[in-house]
Structure 1
Amino acid sequence: MLLQEGAEAFLSQNVPVVTFPSSPGRSTTEVIRRAANPRGPLGVLRTVSDSAALTDNTCRHVPGILSQLNVDALVADQMEPAAGLIARHLGIPFVSFACAVPLERDERIPPPYLDWPYATDEAGLKRNRGGEMVASLLLRAQRATIRRWAARFGLSGLQTLEDCLSPIGTIAQLPGALDFPRAPSARPLLQVGPLRDPPPLKPFALDIDRARPFVFMSLGTLQGHRYAIFEAVARACHRLNAQLMVAHCGGLTPGQAERLGATWAVDFVPQRDVLAQADVCVTHGGQNTVLDALEAGKPMLVLPIAFDQPGLAARIVHHGVGIKLSPRRLSPKRVEEALQRLLTDPAYAERSRAASDAIASSGGLAETVNSIERWSAPEPTGWSKAN
């Protein structure tokens, strides 16, 4: 793993890591904190500026590191254009990996940071083009950084994040069963489903009252401080006589956790184990939680906050495996009505179980490893240093 200093703290396992220094005033922790709280257009521009600075910093440090390590191939995060720039510069085969919603464009699919529906008519296509135009304006700092480093590396035709994707193809965690329909493409997009460690041999024990509904809620590690959202859901569950487990990932103080009124309010739990026992998942739409919920066949109430969460929420609604509410206009009554629908309408659970079956056949970790090795072998089809 090649990471900027500080990012290794987010790894869940002890894996070999090589780090490079962060740029002044832009530590990994600070950049992530700002990105998790964009706060309007100015906050979005600040996030773009931070991302462009990270790309610039990566292009400065990483070519020398890769040369010293004698790297034969790269698996590159789609969201970091430096990976594609550097790999082309050094003539190293690389495979793009989509940790978030895949960046591969399709005119009917809206940008991943918007909760728009799939376009089925000219009005929808026009709306998508408008969204792309606005995004292009917001991402000017990123494009300028890409152009500058492409020129330094002697590369031509690279201006956008999408231009920096691997010509070999992309591997994505988002399964086709949760994505919008995509037009066929000559460039492979392999959607393998969640990449996870095997489940523990001993299941997580939880004293659940089987006569009452059980709701699990998590807003992820970056949004676990949002007390008002947790409270609205807790009050709704109280009205429904439902059990609620809140996993706030250390975002709440002990006093806040106690005041919530949830049945359980904890820092962390083995999420997959708990979801296997839950009836409904309430989530911000982070891809890990979404995939864990669908893998367990559980419908979702999704409250998208940032990043690609709106795009995932739109896909959840499209496939009928959940309901979307805005966290900015959240009330216990609206949450209660949504949860009541998810708990009483069997169609949501049936479609979620069907998605679980599709995920189980998506290929997972084995298909991912086989594809990386096959695609990045010496001079694989579709790769040459000219690319």
Structure 2
Amino acid sequence: MSRFLFVVPPLTGHINPAVGVAARLTGHGHRVAWACADPARVRRLAGADAVVFGCAGPVPGAEGAVRPPDLRGAEALKFLWEWYLVPLADAMAPGVSAAVTAFRPDIVVADQQAFAGALVAERLGLPWATSATTSAEFSGAYDGLPKVADRLRQHLAELRARVGDPSGTADPRFSPHLLLAFSTPELIGPRAPLARHIHYVGPSLAGRPAGPGFPWERLDHGRAKVLVTLGTANADVGGRFLAETLTALRDRATRVQAVIADPGGTLPAAPDDKDVLVLPSVPQLPLLERMDAVVCHAGHNTVCEALWYGVPLVVAPIRDDQPVVAGQVVDSGAGVRIRFGRVTAARLGAALDTVLHDSAHRAAAARISAAFRAAGGAPTAAAHLERLAAESR
């Protein structure tokens, strides 16, 4: 049996896809451990008995890493790298090295944004795999931004000099040994790179902990159902968007029932409302099985989970990789894009009507769903990791 060390940033959307893969490996008798700046978050998602090596590092909201809520485009990418991803890698590197010494993994599985995992593995001569929990890097995230792309490459070179092997050449975002992409070309589009070591495994949905309680009896089977969510990291900027969305949904209450995830408590609570269920958190996966449309921020996890169930989307990207993922949704035909910062109830309502009533969007979502399910998900990802471990012995 082999040992696998998963190195992940302290971000739910990046830990969740790895959870199912790790569970599959454990089920096959392998040893699995994690390295993360937020061990409590990993244990909450992967289980209380998960072996987690803490790596000191900034977490969302830490001093110096608080992002201005109106930051967009190139400035948002610059902030993400210079104020979060690079400092996180510097801070995690000693802890990752200590985890490798203590756990002695055969394979390091490094999230694409946890640069320390790849660079430490390369420095120590360990084979490493990339866990690509967003496909934005594959489809033109830096198109039209050559100066930004050059600056990011410079950041990686300087980071390698500090924590990696100065003579190394591999981009820490793309392992030359094995790259697991939790999507498929049917969504990413024709620019999805092809190589023997790149495997598109689709979403990894297995191994999640049970979600919070939900009033299932309040769902109305006679109306179309819509889930509205801005993910786990956007409560600070979502107030106006959710308010406009609420207005649009109430205007359609005779034919649409909505579930809104509102972790920041920005909307008025109405416990007995039969038209719009507003909750601080929702069990997203089981809910998606019952939804007819999703309104979201184009977060990679939410988009892929919706499309797994063949649900078309209205996407309103906010920052980071979300504009790229939103472009994939539109280009694939599986949804409609609106502007987050300029949303109105009328615009959102029109977009929602389109995805609910235009059969082409549902057909495109169904096509991507079929591709996702054929790709194999967590079991296929685990099998590729097992193969890499066997070849590396």
Deviates more, 1:357-366 or 1:324-333: 357-366
Cα 1:302–1:164 shift into 2, 3 Å: closer
- Separation (CA, whole Å) in 1 of partners of 2:192 and 2:265: 44
Match of 1:374 in 2: 387
Please tell me whether the aligned partners of residues 174 and 191 of structure 1 are also in contact (alpha carbons under 8 angstroms): yes
How much does 1:207 deviate?
A: 2.9
Q: Render the CA deviation track for 1:167-191: whole Å, top value 9, x for unaligned.
A: 1120011122211113664452211
Which sections of structure 1, spanning at least 5 residues, go unmatched?
Answer: 115-127, 381-387
The one-letter amino acid of 1:60's match is P
Q: 1:51 aligns with which of 74, 78, 85?
A: 85
Cα 1:100–1:362 shift into 2, 3 Å: same
Aligned residue for 1:211, secondary structure, equals: coil
Q: 1:171 aligns with which of 171, 180, 185?
A: 180
Aligned residue for 1:215, secondary structure, equals: strand
Q: Render the CA deviation track for 1:134-179: whole Å, top value 9, x for unaligned.
A: 33236644442234434xx342446xxx355321120011122211
Give the CA RMSD over aligned residues: 3.0
- Separation (CA, whole Å) in 1 of partners of 2:91 and 2:234: 27
- Separation (CA, whole Å) in 2 of partners of 1:358 and 1:350: 13
TM-score by length of 1: 0.80
1:133 and 2:133 correspond: no
How much does 1:43 deviate?
A: 5.5
1:3 and 2:35 correspond: yes
Cα 1:74–1:207 shift into 2, 3 Å: same
Aligned residue for 1:167, secondary structure, equals: coil
How much does 1:216 deviate?
A: 0.9
Q: Render the CA deviation track for 1:84-119: whole Å, top value 9, x for unaligned.
A: 211111111111110111635xxxx311xx7xxxxx
Please tell me whether the aligned partners of residues 90 and 159 of structure 2 are also in contact (alpha carbons under 8 angstroms): yes
- Separation (CA, whole Å) in 2 of partners of 1:317 and 1:164: 26
Q: Render the CA deviation track for 1:207-244: whole Å, top value 9, x for unaligned.
A: 33333322111111111341211111111112223211
1:240 and 2:274 correspond: no
Please tell me whether the aligned partners of residues 4 and 28 of structure 1 are also in contact (alpha carbons under 8 angstroms): no
Cα 1:141–1:167 shift into 2, 3 Å: closer
Match of 2:26 in 1: none
Q: 1:216 aligns with which of 222, 227, 237?
A: 227
Cα 1:362–1:195 shift into 2, 3 Å: same
Q: Render the CA deviation track for 1:35-67: whole Å, top value 9, x for unaligned.
A: 584625666544322321121222233223312
Q: What are the residue-to-residue correspondences of 1:40-189 with 2, within 5 Å?
A: 40=72, 44-49=77-82, 50-101=84-135, 103-104=137-138, 109-111=139-141, 128=143, 130-137=144-151, 140-150=154-164, 153-157=165-169, 162=171, 165-182=174-191, 185-189=194-198
Which sections of structure 2, spanning at least 5 residues, go unmatched?
Answer: 1-32
Q: Render the CA deviation track for 1:348-377: whole Å, top value 9, x for unaligned.
A: 112212221221111111111110010232
Provide the aligned length of Structure 1 versus Structure 2: 349
- Separation (CA, whole Å) in 2 of partners of 1:165 and 1:38: 30
Match of 1:385 in 2: none
The one-letter amino acid of 2:231's match is G
